[in-house]
């Protein structure tokens, strides 16, 4: 039986009435309360300000102080010229832009000052084989440059990490830990920390006196110095950061989180030793210290390729430059006088992502490439070494 027409008409009327009254009411209310607010509200500006206060995309820096922290290591302290220093997580780094002999490049440096300190401290060693470090090492206060905001994932994360921490540092790998230790000291050592600090000789240990002072004053902090090149020295520990050292430093391994930063051979050794001792991966965090120094040691390096082999690198149809087999594509682009985007130079941030249109490259194991990027031939130029002539689609 069909419904009486009147009832159905009533329903339709109800619905239509509801529709229009709702619409009119909603619009009238909103118009009166918001009016043309959107035209006046600077949404993009508000968004920019909120983001820049927490994650500034760049910072104008001026070098204010230069302090020697060992015979070959120097702390450079910068003031920010375009605002307050942003908050950051102790252990993060900034990417510092430099121009040397017409080559514009950048290097990531861990922040060795604590969050909240008035100056931003970066620490580096006078590496005679380096390109950027020796140049920075000789700078005088007053030098100005631009850096990225603080970035990186090497920090203590209470949501994930154990409450007892073991830091394993090699040489200038101490820098992120200095930021963390100085922050812990300012907070009154809320969690116990052991630092296992490897260096070549007792004569050249960055921050040695500050670390000794911290350890003397604070029972929650212990520092163990280990030297690889001190065979005849008495009263110091000689050797590598191997299983024995790790067990002595951290007797109950399971309840601790390990943070590693230092040269690649040290990281490889310590990671393997911790795995052998049964420490799960989630308890081991490590900071990559730049791209592999010797790409030829990678297992996927072709045996018949000379490290000094030169290839042609083309960018689209217009640009051509030379790329050497033992240098990543990013360096080839920088040598050609281009200014490709890059921040971390360890393959993590993806700022230098490019599409490899043709050619072959070596991408070391463990580079943070997305699955779809792998499948479609995208690489991070800082972690891709040419194995043939290559064409990429654009300058990152």
Partner 1 sequence: MQADYDAIVIGAGMGGLAAAARLARLDHRVLLLERHTVPGGYGTSFVRGRFEFEIALHQIAPPMAGGRARPFHGVLEGLGVLDQLEFHALPLFYRSIFPDLDLKVPAGIDGFLEALCGAFPHEADGIRSFVDLLLRVGRELEIAGDAVLPADGSGLSMSKAAMLPLRVRGLLRYSGVSVDQVLDRYVQDPKARAVITQTWGYYGHAPSTLSFLYFAAGTGIFLETGPSYLRGRSQGLSSALVSVIEGAGGSVRTGCGVRHVLQQSGRISGVITDRDEHFQAPVVVSNASPLTTCRDLMDPDMVPGAFWRRLGSTSVGVSSLNVYLGLDRPAHELGLVDNDMWLNDGYDPDRVARGMHTLDDPSLMMATCHSHALPELTPPGCSALTLTTLYYAEPWLRLEPLRYVETKNRIAAAMLDRVEARFPGVRGSIEEIEVSTPITNMRYTGHPGGAIYGFDQPPAEAIIWRIPNQGPIPGLYFAGAWTLPGGGFEPTLCSGYNAASLASTWLQRQRSPRFRGFRAGRAQA
Chain residues 372-391 in contact with partner 1, contact rule CB under 8 A:
372-373, 375-376, 378
Tell me which stretch binds partner 1 (CB under 8 A): 60-68, 199-207, 209-217, 350-358. Answer: 350-358
Chain residues 320-339 in contact with partner 1, contact rule CB under 8 A:
none
Q: Which distant-in-sequence residues (6+ apart) come within 8 Å of 181 by Cβ?
A: 167, 193, 195, 211, 214, 221
Report the alpha-carbon distance of residue 181 to residue 166 in Å, rounded: 11
Complex with partner 1: residue 53 or 265, whichever CB lies closer: 53
Residue of 8, 10, 13, 18 that binds partner 1 (CB under 8 A): 18
Whether the CB-CB separation of 174 and 206 falls below 8 Å is answered with: yes
Complex with partner 1: residue 42 or 304, whichever CB lies closer: 42
291 counts as binding partner 1 under rule CB under 8 A: no
Report the alpha-carbon distance of residue 277 to residue 241 in Å, rounded: 14
Chain residues 106-135 in contact with partner 1, contact rule CB under 8 A:
116
Complex with partner 1: residue 249 or 279, whichever CB lies closer: 279
Report the alpha-carbon distance of residue 18 to residue 33 in Å, rounded: 22
Q: In angstroms, what is the minimal distance from the CB of 200 to partner 1?
A: 30
Complex with partner 1: residue 140 or 372, whichever CB lies closer: 372
Chain residues 248-287 in contact with partner 1, contact rule CB under 8 A:
280-282
Burial of 64: CB neighbours in 10 Å, binned 0-12, 13-18, 19+: middle
Q: In angstroms, what is the minimal distance from the CB of 275 to partner 1?
A: 13
368 counts as binding partner 1 under rule CB under 8 A: yes
Q: 177 vs 110, 118, 270, 329, 352, CA distance in Å? A: 9, 18, 17, 31, 27
Complex with partner 1: residue 68 or 393, whichever CB lies closer: 393
Chain residues 46-75 in contact with partner 1, contact rule CB under 8 A:
46-47, 50-51, 53-55
Tell me which stretch binds partner 1 (CB under 8 A): 29-37, 98-106, 179-187, 257-265. Answer: 29-37
Whether the CB-CB separation of 68 and 76 falls below 8 Å is answered with: no
Residue of 10, 20, 244, 247 that binds partner 1 (CB under 8 A): 20
396 counts as binding partner 1 under rule CB under 8 A: yes
Q: In angstroms, what is the minimal distance from the CB of 350 to partner 1?
A: 6
Complex with partner 1: residue 157 or 163, whichever CB lies closer: 157
Residue of 63, 125, 351, 392 that binds partner 1 (CB under 8 A): 351
Report the alpha-carbon distance of residue 301 to residue 49 in Å, rounded: 46
Q: In angstroms, what is the minimal distance from the CB of 66 to partner 1?
A: 28
100 counts as binding partner 1 under rule CB under 8 A: no
Using only the alpha carbons of the chain, give its radius of gyration. Answer: 28
Residues in the chain, overall count: 396
Complex with partner 1: residue 30 or 217, whichever CB lies closer: 30
Spatial strand order in the sheet of 256-261 = 237-238, 221-227, 193-199, 164-170, 256-261, 284-287
Q: Under rule CB under 8 A, how many of the chain's residues touch partner 1?
A: 61
- x/- binding map, residues 212-241, to partner 1, per CB under 8 A? ------------------------------
Report the alpha-carbon distance of residue 238 to residue 198 in Å, rounded: 9
| Residues binding partner 1 (CB under 8 A) | 12, 15-16, 18-20, 22-23, 26-27, 30-31, 34-39, 41-47, 50-51, 53-55, 86-87, 89, 116, 153, 157-160, 280-282, 341, 348, 350-353, 366, 368-373, 375-376, 378, 393-394, 396
């Amino acid at each position: 039986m069909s419904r009486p027409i009147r009832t159905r008409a009533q329903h339709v009327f109800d619905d239509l009435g509801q529709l229009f009254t709702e619409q009119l009411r909603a619009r009238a209310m909103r118009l009166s309360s918001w009016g043309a607010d959107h035209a006046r509200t600077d949404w993009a500006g508000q968004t920019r300000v909120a983001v820049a206060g927490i994650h500034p995309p760049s910072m104008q820096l001026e070098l204010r102080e230069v302090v020697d922290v060992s015979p070959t290591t120097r702390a450079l302290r910068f003031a920010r010229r375009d605002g307050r220093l942003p908050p950051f997580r102790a252990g993060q780094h900034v990417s510092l832009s430099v121009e040397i002999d017409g080559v514009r490049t950048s290097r990531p440096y861990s922040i060795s000052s604590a969050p909240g300190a008035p100056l931003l401290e970066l620490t580096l060693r006078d590496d005679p084989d380096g390109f950027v470090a020796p140049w920075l090492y000789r700078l005088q206060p007053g030098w100005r440059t631009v850096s990225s905001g603080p970035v990186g994932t090497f920090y203590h994360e209470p949501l994930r990490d154990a409450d007892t921490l073991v830091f394993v540092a090699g040489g200038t790998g101490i820098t992120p830990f200095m930021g963390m230790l100085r922050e812990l000291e300012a907070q009154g050592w809320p969690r116990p920390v052991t630092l296992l600090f490897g260096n070549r000789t007792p004569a050249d240990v960055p921050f040695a006196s500050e670390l000794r002072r911290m350890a003397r004053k604070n029972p929650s902090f212990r520092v163990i110095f280990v030297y690889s090149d001190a065979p005849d020295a008495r009263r110091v520990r000689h050797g590598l950061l191997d299983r024995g050292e790790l067990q002595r430093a951290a007797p109950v391994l399971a309840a601790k989180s390990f943070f590693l930063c230092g040269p690649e051979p040290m990281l490889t050794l310590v990671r393997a030793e911790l795995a052998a001792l049964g420490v799960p991966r989630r308890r081991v965090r490590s900071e990559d210290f730049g791209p592999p120094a010797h790409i030829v040691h990678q297992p996927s390096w072709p045996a018949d390729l000379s490290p000094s082999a030169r290839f042609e690198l083309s960018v689209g149809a217009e640009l051509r430059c030379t790329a050497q087999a033992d240098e990543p594509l990013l360096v080839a682009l920088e040598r050609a006088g281009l200014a490709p985007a890059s921040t971390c130079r360890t393959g993590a941030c993806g700022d230098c992502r490019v599409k490899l249109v043709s050619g072959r490259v070596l991408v070391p194991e463990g580079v943070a490439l997305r699955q779809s990027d792998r499948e479609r031939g995208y690489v991070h130029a800082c972690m891709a070494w040419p194995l043939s002539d290559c064409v990429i689609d654009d300058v990152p």
